Amino acid sequence: MQLRAAGATTYNWTPVTGLTNNTIANPVTTPIADITYQVTGTNDPICPMSAPLSVKVAVKPVPQVDAGKDQTVMVGDIVKLMASGSPDVIKWKWSPEDYLDNPNSVYVTAAVRKPITYSITGTNQFGCSKSDIVNIDLVCNTDVVFIPNTFSPNGDGQNDVFYPRGKGVSMIKSFRIFNRWGQEVYHREKINIDDISAGWNGSFNGKPQPSDVYIYFLEAYCDTNEFFQLKGNVTLLR
């Protein structure tokens, strides 16, 4: 805290314990226990010495706060964060609030989309606060992407469209499908995961394609911005 005095030319604070500077008007003090400071102001040569004044500083306890251990999780996973602290903590605050379900709770979950550092601040009844941080790192894993091996574009509203699904993918750079003769029958770029409107409906140039096995190639970026590729077969059923 900052002590304040005024009306003199020079100042002398005693004791010097915890003071940043005992000869200025407004020193900052960081005592570890209750203490009473006395300040004497001098205004030479008119008033060689003024009567000393006292101020008591009461030290309140600082809460203890622990954000928990750093975590490394797979892209798309839900991160669980549990802070802990001393019994005097009455208010919690996580920051930044990105991806958090409740930034004012001691326990939160976060669907993180990038590596991030969270800070948790605990405040006690005296308004004293303490903070701690936890680092969340992400690992790219293609297992987060699900691509069906069959689809049936027969208009019944079930499994009519072939499209990549999953989580932890920031962008699909390209999604291409070829028939058994190597002819490209579908090609889309810069689409989102789980976007059924960007999927293949089993037609090429407006004509329904026959039941057969087709080959797909997918290029995409994880939430970590790492590039990956997937290749496989899909069976079109009619």
User: What is the dotted CATH code of the domain comprising 142-236?
Assistant: 2.60.40
Pair 236, 214: CB distance under 8 Å = yes
CA torsion angle 71 72 78 79 (round to 10): 10
Domain ranges within the chain, ordered by starting residue: 10-57, 65-139, 142-236
pLDDT at position 46, please?
61
Burial readout 137-166 (b: 16 or more C-beta within 10 A, e: otherwise)? ebebbbebbebeeebbbeeeeeeeebbbeb
Q: Take residue 111 and report the two structure tokens written for it.
A: 């669907």
Q: Which of 186, 182, 238 is nearest to 211 (CA)?
A: 238
pLDDT (0 to 100) of residue 51: 63
- Tens of pLDDT along the chain (238 residues) come to 888 888 788 888 889 888 899 888 898 988 878 888 888 888 765 665 666 788 887 778 889 999 999 999 999 899 999 999 999 999 999 999 999 999 999 999 999 999 999 999 999 999 999 999 999 999 998 888 999 999 999 988 899 999 999 999 999 999 999 999 999 999 999 999 999 999 999 999 999 999 999 999 999 999 999 999 999 999 999 8
What backbone torsions phi and psi does residue 182 show, to the nearest 5 degrees? 85, 10
d(CA 60, CA 231): 63
Separation of CA 177 from chain center: 37
173 close to 220: Cβ distance less than 8 angstroms:
yes
Backbone angles phi, psi at 101, to 5 degrees: -80, -30
What is the rounded CA–CA span in Å between residue 238 and residue 230?
Answer: 25
Closest CA to 169 of 98, 76, 232: 76
Instruction: Transcribe 39-71 into DSSP letters.
Output: EEEEBTTTBS----EEEEEPPPPPPPEE----E
CATH code for the domain defined by 65-139 = 2.60.40.10
Q: Model-level pTM? A: 0.71
Are the beta carbons of 164 and 231 closer than 8 angstroms? no
Structure tokens at 50: 């003024």
Which one, of 55, 37, 47, 42, lies nearest residue 8 by Cα? 42
On the question of a common fold for 65-139 and 142-236, the answer reads yes
Structure token pair of residue 59: 């030290």
